[in-house]
Amino acid sequence: MKTKTTLAAVLMTVLFTSCTMKENPLLSESDNPFGAYAFDKIKVEDYKPAFEKAIGSAKADIAAIVECTDEPTFENTVEALEFAGRDLSRVSSIFYALNSACTSPEMQKVAEEISPAMTEYSMSIILNEKLFARIKAVYEKKESLNLTREQAKLLEDTFKSFSRNGANLDSAQKAEYARVSEELSLATLKFGQNSLAATNAFTLNLTDEADLEGLPDFVKEAAESEAVSRNEEGWTITLNAPSYGPFLKYSTRRDLREKIWKAYNSQAVGGEFDNCPLILKIAQLRTREANILGYPTYAAYALEERMAKNQETVNAFLSDLMEKSLPAAAAEVATIQKYAEEHGFSDKLQSWDFSYWANRYKEENYSISDELLKPYFLLDNVQAAIFDLAGRLYGLKFIQRDDIPVYHPDVRAFEVTDENGRFMALFYLDFFPRDNKRSGAWMTTFRDQSIRGGVEERPFVTVVTNFTKPTENTPSLLTFDEVTTILHEFGHALHGMLAEGSYPSLTGTSVARDFVELPSQIMENWAYEPEYLRTFAKHYQSGEVIPDELIEKIVAAKNFNAGYAQVRQLNFGTIDMAWHSSPTVPSDDPVAFEQQVFAPSALFPAVEGCVMTPSFTHIFSGGYAAGYYSYKWAEVLEADAFSLFKEKGIFNREVADSFRREILSRGSIEEEAVIYRNFRGRDPQPEALLEKLGLK
């Protein structure tokens, strides 16, 4: 039957065609300055079709390499593989970064839906026999190819990556490896979602002013602001660090400290967001994955490509530091116990007591506190100070750009140039907590630096934190710990911004896990340097420069409870290795297993049902599995490296230029041990860390 075509039908057809042909902002080239991504145009519904199209395009890139009839060369095989799937790299970088910083239930659903497709795509590359055959053909004639150092490293890394990820398996093993990898991807994704949900699920709402006893004004103001944002009366404490930490430190109400401490340390233990079964599943899948590839444990597999090389070295490293640090930590706890007793406390210190009594001891003996220091650390001044430090050391300039789209109103965007005006990076800062942002602080990239066909792409770098929000009466003022945190993450950002090279897998922060924290941790040292502090630490109301006596107190208190803090970090590394360095996965309940592992170094009595592993996102949904020791490993490197700045001058351009040239811009073009020796002229001296912490 022939139907009559009406004007309305024509208009509907045009409208439908227009909508379906609309370019996906995740896939189209941006006309923003520097090609900045169009965050203002991206909608949740754009992600899934963008992933589907980008995966198809990426597979076509791989097929073109595999089906090439020319003899395999470095250019048509290894280099072509490095740059395959450009659209997919862009889409996934944006999506996964925002899924941590600005997520939603809809985004989390997309993450679950696209996870199998992403795993399948990854497996279709790594288990592609024809592709590996071409790579192997190039690898076997590498000595005759006259490759540059960078090309040789890319070839070596590519060949190893295929070998270490199943390319040599038989067909049955490849099928099982793909299945395990997909299960693992979904399990780690779910772990992170549970952790965020569990953090948001608990709040402590206080309506009696007596419950606020001991809290400084800045804590009360933040709690009141939180309550208002939730349409609640009174004051609300959450499990986000800027809320939870100060409450434990200042509240005189031991019963409320206990309540919130137990809530924080039982996140994702039982209930709707229980991560305990996922811990066992993830550990089992990682062990099985390693076994399929021929390794006895996941740690043996993961550490092969890191500076430490094997689990025996890591376990010995952690054990040695623990042996040297535990007596100091026990003595520090005994000192705080005695102090508490002298001030009327008649019980044994519990975990929820230590922060409170340690802070009182510190205030009395060092005459220093967050309340005393915060007025000197206005966020805007601290931001300007880290930019100034990058200028003095590396000649960088930061220009705020309001014409660069951002993904949330809190985010600030900056153009970064060097002293010659060369564009170096776009830099995004996202400071404040949100319900849709995971806890902690981190740096990541939306785009890595690379050069292809003579055309360079400079990086898009972001730093995300959860700092104290401004209130109606007070701007955002940072604790001293938050000052060191932003310096730390800014160090990672510099590593990304100053990258120089051709291949994104070798530039910026694409280095061994136990090396990547060197550029970040070394930056924290400047927070304790009087010459630097005087440049920006000014009272937000009077403009008064921080007095010398306060600086002296900051420096004097630098190693307060250093043993305790060291043991805490070493315990995190120890439990990580315990989960990943045994040939058999513990069958125990994760709560019991953690308490068993921590028992030899426990400084306080264990509390039933309270552990940190079920919310340990670094190792169960991040990239630090069998790698949390890296923080301490890199701390040895940074303590040794910063001693050269101390010797030559903390703003010495000669040393800074060397650090930039040999480390920050170098990526992983060489073995990390070689890179460090090129900077320092020798291997690191482990005693530097104990000396820095006053534990030697």
Residue type, 551: I
Over residues 605-612, mean pLDDT: 94
Other beta carbons less than 10 A from residue 265's beta carbon: 18
Helix axes 86-101, 105-126, angle to 10 degrees: 140
Q: Which residues are catalytic?
A: 489
C-alpha of 126 from chain center: 26
Over residues 164-189, mean pLDDT: 94
**pLDDT recorded at residue 622:** 86
pLDDT band (50, 70, 90) for residue 587: confident
- Which helix (H) or strand (E) is 59 found in, with range? helix 44-66
**pLDDT recorded at residue 688:** 85
Kindly state the tokens that stand for 509.
């922060």
Over residues 206-233, mean pLDDT: 95
Over residues 651-655, mean pLDDT: 98
**Buried b or exposed e, range 542-569, using 16+ CB within 10 angstroms:** eeebbeeebbebbeebeebbbbbebbeb
Of 1-5, 176-180, 269-273, 516-520, minimum mean pLDDT range = 1-5
**pLDDT recorded at residue 227:** 96
pLDDT at 230 over 50: yes
At 297, is the secondary structure helix, strand, or coil? coil
Reference 445, options 501, 496, 386; nearest CA is 496
The domain locations on the chain are 32-126+128-168, 202-264, 375-561+630-693
pLDDT band (50, 70, 90) for residue 608: very high
Q: What is the pLDDT of residues 285-338, one digit of tens each?
A: 999 999 999 999 999 999 999 999 999 999 999 999 999 999 999 999 999 999
**pLDDT recorded at residue 295:** 96
Over residues 345-354, mean pLDDT: 97
* CA–CA dist 450, 508 (Å, integer): 10
pLDDT at 20 over 60: no
**pLDDT recorded at residue 410:** 96
At 108, is the secondary structure helix, strand, or coil? helix
**pLDDT recorded at residue 674:** 95
Reference 585, options 354, 280, 328, 166; nearest CA is 280
| Ramachandran sector of residue 84 (left: φ over 0; alpha: ψ -120 to 50; beta: rest) | beta
Asked if residue 162 lies in contact with residue 203, where contact means CB atoms within 8 angstroms, the answer is: no
* CA–CA dist 4, 25 (Å, integer): 37
Query: What mean pLDDT is reported for the chain?
Result: 94
* CA–CA dist 176, 503 (Å, integer): 31
pLDDT band (50, 70, 90) for residue 40: very high
Is beta strand 412-417 parallel, antiparallel or unpaired with respect to 397-400?
A: antiparallel
Over residues 263-279, mean pLDDT: 95
SS (H, E, C) 194-220: HHHHHHHHCEEEECCHHHHCCCCHHHH
pLDDT band (50, 70, 90) for residue 686: confident
Fold exhibited by the domain 375-561+630-693: Neurolysin; domain 3 (1.10.1370)
pLDDT at 16 over 60: no
The residue whose two tokens read 């050069």 is: 451
pLDDT at 621 over 90: yes
* CA–CA dist 269, 273 (Å, integer): 7
pLDDT band (50, 70, 90) for residue 22: low
pLDDT at 12 over 60: no
**pLDDT recorded at residue 21:** 41
Superfamily of domain 32-126+128-168: Endopeptidase. Chain P; domain 1 (1.20.1050.40)
Phi and psi torsions of 601, nearest 5°: -115, 15
**Following CA atoms 39, 45, 50, 56 in sequence, which dihedral angle do they give, to the nearest 10 degrees?**
170
pLDDT at 14 over 60: no
